[in-house]
Every structure is written in C-alpha cells, then in structure tokens.
Amino acid sequence: MTLDEVVQIMREHLATKFPKACQTCGCTYLTLKDYLQRTRHVGQPIAFDVELDNMRLSNSLGSMSLANCACGSTLSLDSDGMSPLLLTKLMWWLVAEMARRGKTASEVLADVRRAVDEATLSEPTR
C-alpha cells in the first residue's frame, strides 16, 4: 500500500463517523472537514496495537486520534467499525513504514493524519 491509498482508506472510514456530536456541549460536526476546521488536534495519534507491541488480530484495539471541541472537552476519532482485515493491513503497513523510515508509530500516524487533513481541507465544500 502507498501513503495515498492509506489516506484514501482513512478518509472513507472517517466519513462514516459523521455527523458527530460533542457529548458535553451538543455541538454537531457535520463532516470531517467541518470537524477539522473547528477542533484542534491534541497530541500525536495513538496506535494501541503497535504501542503495546501487540499485533494479534483478535486483540486489535485499533487507533485513535484526539481533538479538542471548541468547548474544551476531548473528542476522539477511532478505528471502530473498520473491518478487522483492513485494520490489520493498515497496521502491517504502519509497522513496515516504521522500519523503513526509522520512525515511531505515532510519528508515522502523524504524517498520515497530516495528509488526511490536507486532502480533506483542500476539498471544495459541498
């Protein structure tokens, strides 16, 4: 898989998470673009599997990216709902990229997130 393919898969997956409402203030984010424009990322993305050195499919916990709502509470986007097969492919891509580039899981995922953000934000608003 290439980075572009990974970005495409992530964007398709993330699109299924919207509309998304903040449980604290009730603010609703209609699309991923809307969400990216109105929240701030918090820290680096987290890949639980890799951080835990746990690549077993049955124990896959997926990955999560955190952001702050305008009201200050923390919102998360995770890999729930993604097929285990696809998630495993992404995890193996991640591990290969880490080895190839000598980066940590969070650093590689931060690059993916940046590419997803750029592609999403450069899209014309519907």
| Residues forming the site for Zn ion (CB under 5 A) | 22, 24-25, 27, 69, 71, 73
Please state the closest distance from residue 31 (CB atom) to Zn ion, in A. Answer: 17
CA 90 from centre of chain: 11
- What contacts 86, CB < 8 A, 6 or more positions away? 9, 13
Q: Toward Zn ion, which CB reaches closer, 9 or 22?
A: 22
Q: Toward Zn ion, which CB reaches closer, 30 or 71?
A: 71
Please state the closest distance from residue 20 (CB atom) to Zn ion, in A. Answer: 11
Q: Toward Zn ion, which CB reaches closer, 36 or 69?
A: 69
The number of beta carbons lying within 10 Å of the beta carbon of residue 13 is: 21
Please state the closest distance from residue 33 (CB atom) to Zn ion, in A. Answer: 18
Ramachandran region, residue 19 (left: φ > 0; alpha: ψ -120 to 50; beta: rest): beta
